[in-house]
Amino acid sequence: MGSDLLESDVFSRTAADGEILSDGLYNLAMGLTLCWGFAVNWWMVKNIPVSAITGVDVRLFLLGYFASCLFGVYLFNKSKDPLVSFIGYNFVVVPFGLVLNVVVARYDPALVLEAVRITGMVTVGMMVMGSLFPEFFRRIHTALTMALLLVIVIELVDIFILHKQRGILDWVVVLIFCGYIGYDWGRANNIPKTLDNAVDSAAALYMDIINLFLRILRILGRRRR
């Protein structure tokens, strides 16, 4: 699930509802918010047994997953209070962490660390690109959204009707979320640099980065077989 499919009005804000931060403090706030989400996910992977998650009925799990994510997105979209936005962010981080827990358990820890390293390098690179070429990423935004929707439809058909997987789709999704990271990073730095906007922007970037990580992990796992 990409941040753009849960599209918000965060990046369309023009008025500053709060104190304006310096560029350095604004980016630090985004970075710390992202690190909090990743730290929570790491703790969940280390401390929550996979059996406790897989033992839940899949329909109930999916209902809770989407309900929590949508509620979290609603909170950080609508609130101008950074604390409320941070709470909303955590309503997104926790269900993503449960999914990560189940997925990561299937892979060798060394492979997971390699996927983390590659994801980090790609993320930093795309953030730099987003800062240098924001207009390019704005131009490809519609294409990214259409491509992501198409991939989701194809994957649903593959899973529930054809019962197969297409490895090429993982590469397509990696490219899509690379584009989203550049796009969202560029947008994050073109809205008023308040603490609330830093939290909200980090939440959007968090979803991009986690989706990128999951696909990179699948690609690496397939190559090791």
Q: Please state the pTM of the whole predicted model.
A: 0.90
* Res. 10: pLDDT tops 80: no
Q: How far apart are CA 219 and CA 154, in angstroms?
A: 18
Residue 14 within a domain:
no
| Residue 198 DSSP label | H
Per-residue pLDDT tens over the stretch 140-169: 989 999 999 999 899 889 888 877 877 889
Residue 12 within a domain:
no
Residue 8 within a domain:
no
Structurally, the chain folds into a number of domains equal to: 1
What rounded mean pLDDT belongs to the chain?
Answer: 91
C-alpha distances out from residue 123 to 127, 129, 215, Å: 6, 10, 13
Residue 204 within a domain:
yes
From 218, 221, 209, select the one nearest 179 (Cα to Cα): 209
Domain that holds residue 206: 19-224
Residue 11 within a domain:
no
pLDDT at position 184 is 93
Residue 95 within a domain:
yes
Task: Decide: residue 209, CB within 10 A, 0-12 exposed, 13-18 middle, 19+ buried.
Answer: buried
